[in-house]
Amino acid sequence: MRYSIIIPVFNKADLTKQCLDALPATIADAGEGEVIVVDNASSDHTQRVLAAYPWIRVITNERNLGFAAANNQAARIARGEFLVLLNNDTEPWPGWLASMLRHAAQPDVGAVGALLLYPNKTVQHGGVAVAGNPFGRQQFQPFHHNYLVPFEDPDVRRTQEFQIVTGACLLTPRALYERLGGLDEGYWNGYEDVDYCLKVGRAGMRVVYDGEAVLYHFESQSGIQRFRKTIWNTELLDRRWRGSVRFDAAEKMLARGYVRHPLRGSRLGGINAHVLHLRPINVVVHGEEPPEGRAAFERRLRCTRAPVGAIVWALGDDALATAREAMRIRGARFTAFVRGAAEPSEGWLDELVRQLSATPTTFAAAYAPEIASDVDNVVALAADGRCLLVHLMRVPAHMRLEAFDSLDASLADLGLRMLPLGFGTRIAQGVFAVPPVREDASFESRHGRPLAAVLRGEPEAVEAELRARPRRARGLVSIVTLSWNAPQYTKIALESIRTHTSEPYEVIVVDNGSGPETVSMLREIDDPHVRVIYNERNRGFGGGNNDGIAVARGEFVVVLNNDVVVTDGWLDSLLDPFDRIPSVGVTAPRTNKIVGDQQVVDASYADIEGMHAYAARRRRSYARRGYLTDRAIGFCLCIDRRVIEEIGGFDERFEMGNFEDDDFSVRVRAAGYEIYVCEDSFIHHFGSRSFVANDVDYASTMRENWSRFAEKWGYPDEFPTNGYDPRKAIYGGFDRARHFAPLPTRRVAGAVLEPGTVVPREYDVVFAAFVRDEADWGNVAEFTKRYFIAFDAEAPVTLAIAGSGDPNALTIARRVERTLQKLDQTPERCADVEIRDEEDLAAWRSSLPERVTIDIERIVDRSPSALRRLLRGVSA
């Protein structure tokens, strides 16, 4: 007899009937066989159902013996050459058994599994792959390969070898089953099939998954015991097989192109499955020319299952730039670095991919024979670039390779910088022929140790490295706040900042064209921390804030709405994550009123005292807690200066308000920085006061700005009433050419605010202008326009403007910039301007070089040609 099909059952009589009904037609081509059903003491009408099939043999147990014992029981009376373990919640497709028997006929095959589909024809089981478990009791995690993939997928239908196939449908030679002791009855309805397959492998036999043998699997559960014993089963499996199971998930990835992998946490600390796609890997060759010549070397590099993309030669002076570019190739997920003196052997890249996918706390994998061994769990403190594969998605986009004498050192330096972010470098198994470590003086000089020393990565060394990281000094914080009428709110906000901020700070109020009441209030501010920029018209949220950011001097810039009340410790809490989490670029607080999840739900205070008490409680309870997010609302953002340098300010295409903060968040994330919402920083927000005070059609503004956002980032134009997924834009990456949002130039303002930075220059003519009030400005503005038309940057002239308060120098600077914009000129190409705040105009005037200074009031013909003539005359 060729086969014995064994079906253990416990209740679910209807499913058993369905399975038995389907059998005869689907096994007709499989030769002679028998079907044995083991009823594990079902309490439903299973016995009645079984009685209707005279061609089956039935074993009736008085108690539920479990899956393993029932199969073993049937195997003892089976007569077939092959045993087929089959669940009763399956429905076979035609030809399934004949196909499995064909594979089983090969002498070295010890087990054959089948493709099991859900009723919707997605994969329930397509072989079992094994991944390492980075943090948990169980060292390895078996999981269904191709789970939920449509069955039409070629990889699903491909017959291939695995270590494990499921026992829901498993064919094995009876003699082997007996020799291996059958299924281990120590397991209770779980993992006995995994254990059996591993025993088959240990016996030197192959486990084959047959993609042509197809069954539906309804995957019903037979009661709670199945899960109750899960832990026991897991423990037993782990005890038995720890250290002897190969983590083959990556191998399957190489064949398939992707693998499911746990990658990162969610807000609540859980770990989400992540699908890791393997795209062609670009290889950077550096260090030296390969002795065998480039073409031969390239051929060797391509002898690997992992797909090799472009091979980039980074030799000579521009090696660093070439390497940097290779790491920024759009769409690339990995970049490999290989020294020209290395000798890549077949499969060199596959092992690196395997190591990289082993844990979510690895950003690179390398060959380093100095510390490599046959132990599959070695991590380097950092590895040099002799043969290194970098997982680009784990390297924040802003972390570039830095300049050292060699790329080896640049890459090791990157590794050291990645450690505080929580990522190490795994060492590949086996000895790959790489040259010895080439020491690098620049590295040793900067890090105080030779390059070879950073290879050793015992936990103690990693710990020492983490502890050695210096805490970041906080420095000055610039708070930029917009004002657009509603002066009472600005006043409250400023007062609360004054009262509740203990860190060194400055406030830059940017008035976006408010009415006289607000301007008057701002003029009365007598606080050395506060500077005011007066804009003639509303430059919108982005433009106004950019005006402030451009003149901010702080190491951090807080963009803060004016309709807020800050609370004790607000800024300390916003700054704290920058110390703790190196990848954080922006932080934001919680509040009582905002769109999205920054709004708290339990803020039920009735007055300002109650609000402060609530905030204090919250600060205590939630100390140093928060969550990473892809989007923070612009009512309060604390931005690291390096982020601004990397991505610029707000994009001014968004008018008035809405979506400029979304855009900013996307750019922050795309540049590889994290956004962290601080649970312990609470700010009261009155909410949309400017919109209310200025009677703005909020909805219409929002729709218009969405259109701009959608166009910029490639979303559909239709307004997303249920929100949108920012990851689409983030994953596109940050492209400086397209995404950098320039701030208003600092050159004009810089001359005023940072005089030390201006290079002294000799002028043939200095035009002097006083701005005592707005009327004066009207006169100066007209002159300024003609001045810019008349002269360019090469002209030996400057326009010196002094403001005595209103408008002040900052405001004048902004206006001058806009004049330039209107003339379509850039600050770099225009003639020089110096703008100062001066209380004593006479003193200022006398400080100018008398011989060449001309007061503009004295110039009658101010046409550009007249001004040029004037210069020529003076110069002559």
Backbone angles phi, psi at 218, to 5 degrees: -85, -5
Residue 18 found at the interface with another protein (CB under 8 A): no
Candidates 528-536, 616-624, 718-726, 784-792; binding stretch for another protein (CB under 8 A): 616-624
Rule CB under 8 A: choose which of 187, 297, 334, 676 binds another protein: 676
Rule CB under 8 A: choose which of 202, 617, 624, 829 binds another protein: 624
CB nearer to another protein: pick between 41 and 841: 41
**CA 465/CA 452 separation, integer angstroms:** 15
Site string for another protein, 458-497 (x = CB under 8 A): xxx-xx-xxx------------------------------
Rule CB under 8 A: choose which of 32, 54, 63, 137 binds another protein: 137
Q: Determine contact, residues 183/199, Cβ cutoff 8 Å.
A: no
Residues forming a β-bridge with 131: 141
**Measured from the CB of residue 363, what is the shortest distance to another protein in angstroms?**
10
Residues forming a β-bridge with 832: 798
Vertex 319: Cα angle to 317 and 323 (nearest 5): 160
Number of residues this chain uses to bind another protein (CB under 8 A):
67
Q: Cα-atom radius of gyration of the chain, to the nearest Å?
A: 36
Rule CB under 8 A: choose which of 121, 277, 449, 580 binds another protein: 580
**CA 514/CA 519 separation, integer angstroms:** 6
**CA 656/CA 544 separation, integer angstroms:** 9
Strand 82-86 and strand 169-173: the pairing is: antiparallel
Residue 266 found at the interface with another protein (CB under 8 A): yes
Kindly provide the b/e burial profile for residues 264-278, where b requires at least 16 CB atoms within 10 angstroms of the residue's own CB: eeeeeeeeeeeebeb
Rule CB under 8 A: choose which of 150, 265, 430, 873 binds another protein: 265
Candidates 149-157, 259-267, 739-747, 844-852; binding stretch for another protein (CB under 8 A): 259-267
Residue 358 found at the interface with another protein (CB under 8 A): yes
Site for another protein in 707-736 (CB under 8 A): none
Burial tier of 153 (Cβ tally within 10 Å: 0-12, 13-18, 19+): middle
Candidates 103-111, 268-276, 322-330, 701-709; binding stretch for another protein (CB under 8 A): 268-276
Candidates 41-49, 207-215, 564-572, 608-616; binding stretch for another protein (CB under 8 A): 41-49
* DSSP sequence for 329-398: -TT--EEEEEETT-B--TTHHHHHHHHHTT-TTEEEEE--TTT--S-S--EES---SSEEEEEGGGS-TT
**Measured from the CB of residue 56, what is the shortest distance to another protein in angstroms?**
20
**CA 864/CA 91 separation, integer angstroms:** 90
Which residue shows structure tokens 């052997």?
Answer: 345
**Measured from the CB of residue 378, what is the shortest distance to another protein in angstroms?**
9
Candidates 262-270, 567-575, 836-844, 850-858; binding stretch for another protein (CB under 8 A): 262-270
Rule CB under 8 A: choose which of 36, 170, 419, 801 binds another protein: 419
Which residue shows structure tokens 């208003």?
Answer: 744
Site for another protein in 370-399 (CB under 8 A): 377, 379
CA-closest candidate to residue 433, choices 354, 356, 338: 338
**CA 3/CA 83 separation, integer angstroms:** 6
Q: What is the largest CA-CA distance in the chain?
A: 121
3-state SS, one letter per residue, for 182-211: CCCCCCCCCCHHHHHHHHHHHCCCEEEEEE
Rule CB under 8 A: choose which of 32, 54, 63, 135 binds another protein: 135
Rule CB under 8 A: choose which of 361, 688, 694, 707 binds another protein: 361
Rule CB under 8 A: choose which of 311, 476, 628, 789 binds another protein: 628
Residue 702 found at the interface with another protein (CB under 8 A): no
**Measured from the CB of residue 616, what is the shortest distance to another protein in angstroms?**
14
CB nearer to another protein: pick between 467 and 858: 467
**Measured from the CB of residue 11, what is the shortest distance to another protein in angstroms?**
8
Beta strands in 374-460 (DSSP E): 379-380, 387-391, 424-427
Rule CB under 8 A: choose which of 24, 119, 136, 504 binds another protein: 136
CA-closest candidate to residue 490, choices 580, 427, 426, 562: 562
Rule CB under 8 A: choose which of 223, 307, 504, 742 binds another protein: 223
**Measured from the CB of residue 270, what is the shortest distance to another protein in angstroms?**
6
Rule CB under 8 A: choose which of 132, 415, 589, 803 binds another protein: 132
Residue 305 CA: distances (Å) to CA of 206, 370, 393, 731: 21, 26, 21, 26
Binding site for another protein (CB under 8 A): 13-14, 43-45, 132-139, 223-225, 227-232, 234-235, 238, 242, 264-271, 358-361, 377, 379, 419, 422-424, 457-460, 462-463, 465-467, 580-581, 601-602, 621-628, 676, 679
